[in-house]
Structure formats: structure tokens, C-alpha cells
Amino acid sequence: MVVVWSAQTELLDHLTGATLLLVEDEPSLAEPTVAAFVEHGCTVWHAENGADARAMLRRATPDAIVLDLSLPDVDGLVLCPRLCVEGGNAPIIVCGPEPDQRVMLLAFRLGAEDFIAKPVDLDELQARVAVAVRRRARREREPVAPEPAGVDKSHLGRLSIDLNGWRVRVDQREVHLSPTEFRLLAYFAARVGAIVSREQLAREVWGNEAMCSSRTIDAYLRRLRNKLCGPGTPQLLHVRGFGYQLVESA
């Protein structure tokens, strides 16, 4: 128990000095959320609606955004892609109703990095925001993973990956990926042919082993597979038992 507490404390240290934009119209939910993050040294901007959130983003960029889907002036799903652009690609954690697979997948397609069901557990929300802030900081320090010796990750059969330009092509068809989808593909490309478990992805891509029991990973992988596989073309990312495998095809 001491080890778990120490790891959690170390994770929440990433909130210190970070700036969070909370988009939530219910005072009974917003007030304890603001207090919980401020307690860990986080600066919180609170917007009660979409218009206020966008106005705040015109002045500065936060390190993360927590977005409620039920707002008085705009649907959170409509607002999400706008916040992605106007928020400088700050990671967005969406808070929505008890997991509706369609809503969750749509949120990911519109740019959300994570999804947490209501009623929100504040400890879980803090941990997910801390992971997102830590991951963004790592990405800014090391935007491209080191290329293993002997592996040409630019050309893997039908798949072409430009790690520096963050561009992907399959059969000369350009594939548009979100930052998280690109990190996933780059991780698989460094291990082409190997079977990668969900636990590995949770630990090494998301930086949070607890994610392995979340539907978030499955949703991202499903979307990545769909984007890589065009109509009438063989799949490049295969499901193998409890893991996934990127194959290099001719």
C-alpha cells in the first residue's frame, strides 16, 4: 500500500504548476473539482459554458482541458474539436454519461484524449489529468521516439511513416492521425511483427498501467485500425489474442 501511495503522490506532482481549463456549468460539480486541483498546486480556469471557454483560450493556453458534454450553450461534442485547435492541442479529458460506446468513440474522433464517466471520481480525474500533463511534457521534450538500429521506420511495406513530419501514408493514401494515434503507430512500428499487449501500451504509451482495464485503449486501437485499412485492402494492425501486431506487408 505504501508503494501505491508513493506512486500516486509522484504522479500528482505533475499537477503542481500546471494550468487546467475546467468547462463545467454545474456549481455543485465545479466547486469541489476546482478545490481538489488547487490543493495540488494547479491553476484552474473555470468556464461555465462554451463561449467562456473559447474566450479564455484566446488569452492563454492551458496544459489540459476537462470538458463536460452537457453545457447550456453548446453540445460538448461540437465544442471539442474547436477546443483542440484553439487550445493549442492541449489534451482534452471528456466527462460524459455512463459509458455510451458511441458517444465515447465520437469524442475520441473529435479530438478527446481521454473519457471519464459521470459521476466523476475526483481521485481518478486528478490521476488522468496528471497523466495527460506528464505525457504532453514528454512529447514536447521528445516529439519523436528514438529509432531502433536496423529498423527503417519510414517504409514498412505498404505503410510509410515520417516520424519527423508526423505524416503517415498507406498505399500512397495519406492517413490523418491524432497525436495519440500517431504515438501508438510509432510504438508499433518500432516493434513491427511483435505482439504488443494492452498492458504494454498502457504503461509505455499512456504512462499509466491502470489504463489497461479502460475502454480508452480499445477505442483508440479500433479507430487506428480503421484508418490504416482502406476499402478492400488487407489489415496492417492485427488482433492477436490479448495483444496487437503491426505487420509489414508487400
CATH code for the domain in which residue 57 is found:
3.40.50.2300
The count of domains in the chain is 2
In a domain, 74, yes or no: yes
* Most confident segment among 90-94, 145-149, 163-167: 90-94
- Are 137 and 163 contained in the same domain? no
Tens of pLDDT, residue by residue over 198-240, are: 888 877 776 666 666 667 788 888 888 888 886 667 788 888 7
Contact (CB, 8 A) for 182 and 154: no
Q: Which helix (H) or strand (E) holds 244?
A: strand 243-246
pTM score, whole prediction:
0.60
Under the banding of pLDDT at 50, 70 and 90, the label for residue 152 is: very low
Whether residues 57 and 121 fall in one domain:
yes
Q: Tell whether 66 and 124 lie within a shared domain.
A: yes
Give the C-alpha distances (Å, rounded to integers) separating 85 from 64, 88, 99, 191, 217. 13, 6, 26, 31, 23
Provide the pLDDT for residue 249: 65
73 & 161 share domain: no
Q: Residue 183 belongs to what domain range?
A: 155-246
Nearest to residue 96, comparing CAs of 82, 81, 112, 84? 112
Distance of CA 112 to the CA centre of its chain: 6
CA atoms of 130 and 128, how far apart (whole Å): 5
- Give residue 230's pLDDT: 67
Task: State the residue for C-alpha cell 455543485.
Answer: 28
